Structure 1
Amino acid sequence: MATAFIDDDFVALRRMPEPRARRVLTLAFGDEVELLERRDGWTRLRAVNVFDGTAEGWVKGNPPLRESGVLKLSMVDVQQGDGLLLETPGGQIVLIDGGDNKLFARHLAERFRHRRSSAAQPLEVAAIIVTHGDADHFSGLDHIVASEALDGDDARKRLFLKPLRLFHNGLVKGPDRLSDEEIFGRTVVVGDQRYIVDLHDDPGSVAPEAMNGPFRRWMATLDHWRQRGPIACRRVAHGMDEAELFDFLAAEGIDVELFGPFDEAVPAPDARGLRFLHKPSPAAEIHLEQGDGGGALSASHTINGHSIAFRLSYGAVRINFTGDMNHESMALLRHRMAPAALEAEIVKVPHHGSHEFDLDALKAMRPVVGIISSGDEHAGKEYIHPRATLMAAIGMAVRGRTGLVFNTELAAFFAVRDLSFTCKDLAGFFSDHATRQFTGKQVADLISGKAHETGFPRPHFGFERTNFGIIHVRTDGERVLVFTHSGKDGLNEAYRFSVTRNAEGERSVRFARKVKTR
């Protein structure tokens, strides 16, 4: 059976056993398939990388197929946090952050269920890039290890990984009891600037008592994975040798340019340090201001601002990854790099759409597509992301007359489920009344609220998230397809455009009139 990849925007795969069956699975540009047969104006395919790899069906006509894969980027809805998955044309997997709950782990388990990972044959991950040491960017990776113990109906959520590399910014957060100036370890002052000099290649080299709780749990996850083989841990910063660090990507024609963090030479005891950043100005138009705002030193703004930021290039298409960069670090980036060096067709918008951005840096990036990871989880994690000023700024920064802004929160879909109870509450009530006899009508009256019963759980008006707000970007280096899913099968918000370069390296972008669905 010949293996190939979908070369149309979308293809409707009508499921077995009959060609004209109503059950339809939508395949997208770059999805891997096996060509089984062609008969009577139909083509039978097996979707290799969908669910458990057994999805077969028929496509009307002769769908265009390609021999090579495409670059795939998925921004997963992890609520508050970042979790991105990069798959190279050759099938290498790179994880960029992982949120702080189980959503990223669950998506990966479903996405790679066809690979049937196990402790004996774990799924190989070329690299994990933790952009910075805030829990909403890495604690979700712990849930991948926890999934290994799932059984019964939950066994399909298992995922066994074997990471080969870990890239991070070198900062390890200490216990919360420490002051902002102490939380990253040793610092030195040069002139009026304070620098952090405790920068680590292997965060596991830090004593557990010098870490906060999320870091200790993250180190336990790394120790677990290390039992399957060595993990090359590296602190990365602007100016380091990208060709050596990312040689595994260069072999597929994928280039990486490090934007940040910017480390600097400082006096003894160490050669390099990261400057402490500051609390920003409270101004509504902070994005228009210059400088650091003159605020006090801030640990949270320091670790955010020193996110690993980089530009990934494949053919004529460039993608900027910005972590949680903020106003001060974006201004630093703009001052140290030429505007042309920041330009990209797709920009991962920094810090979930926070208001603390630098407008001129965003304008230098000149995105065609901005993608934002944000979502509500609970009131304790509500930061009003994305901010209205940021959304307007992307509109001002986009290249040409057409720009796209996708947000994971807006791409999610909820279905009304009427009055609902938790199984635990119902089980508790009927367990407490195990000796009583309930008629069917009595149970119905209790559930509907028509009958009052002390201790019966109060119903809540229920919703179910039937579609998570995943944003997909796929490209062969010239053609780009960007899409999300919806609550209706086969309905996507999708756009396709092409990127071409002239002899001087200048890019031009042309949108397709419409996407194609076969």
Structure 2
Amino acid sequence: MVKSYLGHKTKRFSFHNGQEQTSYVAIFGDEFELDPAQDNTASQDRDAIYRGRQGKIRSNTIFTNHKELEFYFLDIGQGDAAFITTPNDIKILVDGGLQDKALGFLIWKYRLDQPNNNVVIDHLFLSHSDGDHVDGLIPVLEHPQIQVNNIYHNGIAIYKSGHNEELGTVTNEKLVTLHSSLTDLDNSVLNDNYKVWIDAVKASGANYMRLDASDGFINIGDNSISLEVLGPVLDSDGSLKWFKGKSHTINGHSLIFRIDYNHVRAFFSGDLNIEGSGHILNIPGNQLKVNAHIFKAPHHGSHEFSQDLLNAVNPMVSVISSGEVPDHGHPRAIFLGGLGKAGRGSAPLIFSTELSALFVDAGDPDAVNHSNNTNTTIAGLDFSTSSANREARQRFKKLLPGIINVRTNGEKIYSFRRVQMGYQWESYDQKYTN
């Protein structure tokens, strides 16, 4: 019987295999496999399995049969990647970063070093097709033990030729070239990197579909969760406004959405910039729709942000995803100040994957130099072999990544960041406020 730990924030557990005892820390929502025959026993200790480790825990530990909503904001260097699991165990991946850290996380979390283990990603949201969001999704699609069912995108492809702009044909300050399905791209000459992505999508067999604000709420397969698409926002003729140039347009028309679970709301804003934020906020009612307790901050903390958007979100917990290599100066000091100014309640929280990441020297002569925050890559491994998955999982574990864990039961929000010393966690719990 699998149960979730429901105690206050964190709890240290001692596990032993009969010869040695090891201490681990569980955080709110972590899952344990318990023996149901011991539910009504008065014994002080209960048999338990935690992340594949057998041990005993005290009988007064609080558990529930109900899984909570979990967010993992991944440390993937410069870029974006987040993973969500819902109370009904629906799995959602949002973006994938530049390299293969997102894949490393999935191998680690779902023990894909074990050849009989597999994982299904129910929904994959690609906010937009810049490399620091899409490139890391390609090895995820190609992994033989990972199945992706649905891929959602904003409809903006990247072309090598055939149009007057790299994003397609622009007429009267409008991008009129949008694609919905893979067949829409059949006769197109695509940018080389983007073509690699599209070829991986085709090979994966996943459903591939464009979403925009007119789609509204979409059914993700969990009735306890509502997910509403808030952007991009199409003009009445089905086109998208052209924002100055390629980068402003593809960022400003990111696929963005809000997730609601009981009283708690989370807003994923892609790389929304000043123009895109203004476009979204000009839609009647959107000032309220973007309002959220948990906020995946836009564009890695860039200086090109809208304070009006931050104020409208009014977040309790904000997470910035950025890295040092390549160095774009993110997160900018003015952005951090803007988030602090816009925060909700007396003690709003701001996390940064870059500031939380700690790279440790594992003594591996084949590993890259971690001191400059360079990504360890697992590219080139043959994932049809269990040995490659074991190596990938070990490489992921060689780093103490700056994953930001945010979990909620729909009323309280628990936020966590690993601290290396003594296997500690920086942890917070907050009750939602309107």
Which interval holds the TM-score relative to the shorter structure? 0.7 to 0.9
2:404 matched to 1:471?
A: yes
Change (3 A) 1:423 1:406: closer
1:97 matched to 2:95? The reply is yes
Cross-structure match for 2:210 = 235
| Alignment-derived partner of residue 27 in structure 1 | 26
In structure 2, the partner of 1:335 is 282
Letter in 2 for 1:396: K
Match of 1:361 in 2: 309
Q: What amino acid sits opposite 1:410 in the alignment? A: L
Q: Which residue of 1 is the match for residue 15 of structure 2?
A: 15
How far apart are the structure 1 equivalents of 2:255 and 2:402? 24
Which residue pairs with 1:273 in the alignment?
239
Contact (CA 8 Å) 1:372, 1:408: kept in 2 or not? yes
Among 328, 344, 358, the residue aligned to 1:383: 328
Does the CA-based 8 Å contact 1:41-1:60 persist in structure 2?
Answer: yes
CA separation of 1:388 and 1:65: change in aligned 2, threshold 3 A:
same
2:151 equivalent in structure 1: 166
The CA deviation at 1:416 is: 5.8
Corresponding residue for residue 292 of structure 2: 344
Q: 2:371 matched to which residue of 1?
A: none
Which residue matches 2:268?
A: 321
Alignment of 1:387-466 (within 5 A): 387-415=332-360, 466=399
Structure 2 partner of 1:439: none
Task: Choose the corresponding residue for 1:65, options 58, 63, 66.
Answer: 63
Distance 2:203 2:423 in 1: 40
Does the residue aligned with 2:4 lie in a helix, a strand or coil?
strand
Residue matched to 1:78:
76
Q: Indicate how the Cα distance of structure 1 residues 114 and 101 shifts in structure 2: closer, same or farther if over 3 A, else same.
A: closer
Provide the C-alpha distance between the structure 1 equivalents of 2:174 and 2:212, rounded to a whole number of angstroms: 15
CA distance in 1, matches of 2:57, 2:118: 33
In 1, the alpha carbon distance for the partners of 2:199 and 2:317 equals 37
Whether 2:174 is the aligned partner of 1:195: answer yes
Q: Which amino acid aligns with 2:156?
A: L
Deviations 1:285-337 (A, max 9, x none): xxxxxxxxxxxxx1011001100111110000000100000011111222214
Quote how far apart the aligned CAs of 1:186 are.
2.4
- Unpaired runs of at least 5, structure 1: 149-159, 267-271, 279-297, 425-463, 500-506, 509-518
Distance, in Å, in 2 between the alignment partners of 1:352 and 1:258 is 21
Say if 1:6 and 1:64, in contact at 8 Å, map to a contact too.
Answer: yes
Among 129, 132, 139, the alignment partner of 1:136 is 132
Gaps spanning 5+ residues in structure 2: where?
369-396
Cα distance in 1 between the residues matched to 2:293 and 2:81: 20
Alpha-carbon offset, residue 340 of structure 1: 2.3
Q: 1:423 to 1:309 in 2, by over 3 A?
A: closer
Kept in 2: contact 1:99–1:137 (CA 8 A): yes
Which amino acid counterpart does residue 70 of structure 1 have in structure 2?
E
Report deviation, 1:203: 4.1
CA distance in 1, matches of 2:174, 2:430: 44
Question: How far did residue 241 of structure 1 move?
Answer: 4.0
Instruction: Tell me the amino acid that sits aligned with residue 496 of structure 1.
Output: D
Does the 8 A contact of 1:89 with 1:252 survive in 2?
Answer: no
1:42 maps to which of 20, 24, 45: 45
2:10 and 2:336 map into 1 onto residues whose CA distance is 29
Q: How big is each residue's C-alpha offset from its partner over 1:253-304, in whole Å with a ceiling of 9 and x where there is no partner?
A: 21122221111123xxxxx1011102xxxxxxxxxxxxxxxxxxx1011001
Larger Rg: 1
User: How far did residue 483 of structure 1 move?
Assistant: 0.5
DSSP 3-state at the match of 1:5: strand
Query: RCO (CA 8 Å, sep 6+): is it higher in 1 or 2?
Result: 2
Contact 1:413 1:465 in 2 (8 A): no
Deviation at 1:490, TM superposition (A): 3.1
Give, in angstroms, the shift of residue 18 of structure 1. Answer: 4.9
Report the equivalent of 2:414.
481
- Indicate the RMSD between aligned Cα atoms, in angstroms: 2.5
Shift of 1:205: 3.3
Q: Specify whether residues 308 and 117 from structure 1 end up closer, same or farther in structure 2 by C-alpha distance, changes over 3 A only.
A: farther
Partners of 1:12 and 1:59 within 8 A in 2: no
CA contact (8 A) 1:170 1:203 kept: no
Aligned to 1:262: 233
Alignment match, 1:453 = none
Letter in 2 for 1:414: F
Where 1:4 maps in the other structure, the secondary structure is: strand
Task: Give, in whole Å, the separation in 2 of the partners of 1:395 and 1:71.
Answer: 25
- Provide the C-alpha distance between the structure 2 equivalents of 1:413 and 1:210, rounded to a whole number of angstroms: 42
Is the partner of 2:136 in helix, strand or coil?
helix
- What does the per-residue CA deviation read over 1:357-384, in whole Å, with 9 as the maximum and x for residues that have no partner? 110111011100110000122xxx2211
Contact 2:120–2:148 (8 Å) recurs in 1 = yes
Provide the rounded CA distance (Å) in 1 between the counterparts of 2:152 and 2:361. 42
* CA pair 101-312 structure 1, distance change in 2 beyond 3 A: same
Question: Which whole-Å CA distance do the structure 2 matches of 1:142 and 1:481 have between them?
Answer: 31
CA contact (8 A) 2:360 2:400 kept: no
**Cα 1:139–1:114 shift into 2, 3 Å:** closer
Structure 2 counterpart of 1:133, one-letter code? S
| 2:201 maps to amino acid | L
State the match for 2:320 in structure 1.
372
Whole-angstrom CA distance in 2 between matches of 1:83 and 1:495? 22
What displacement does 1:343 show? 1.1
Task: Please give the alpha-carbon distance, in whole angstroms, between the structure 2 residues aligned to 1:117 and 1:341.
Answer: 43
Counterpart of 1:491 (choices 418, 421, 424) is 424
How far apart in 2 are the matches of 1:324 and 1:482? 23
Corresponding residue for 1:440? none
Q: In structure 2, do the counterparts of structure 1 residues 347 and 95 end up closer, same or farther at CA, with 3 Å as the change threshold?
A: same
Provide the rounded CA distance (Å) in 1 between the counterparts of 2:204 and 2:411: 37
Equivalent residue letter for 1:137? H
What is the SS of the residue equivalent to 1:13? Answer: strand
2:202 paired residue number = 223
Q: Decide whether aligned partners of structure 1 residues 337 and 349 sit closer, same or farther in structure 2, where only a CA change above 3 A counts.
A: farther
Secondary structure of the equivalent of 2:315? coil
- The answer (yes or no) to whether the contact 2:220–2:227 under 8 Å persists in 1 is no
Shift of 1:68: 0.6
Whether contact under 8 Å (1:204, 1:219) holds in the other structure is: no
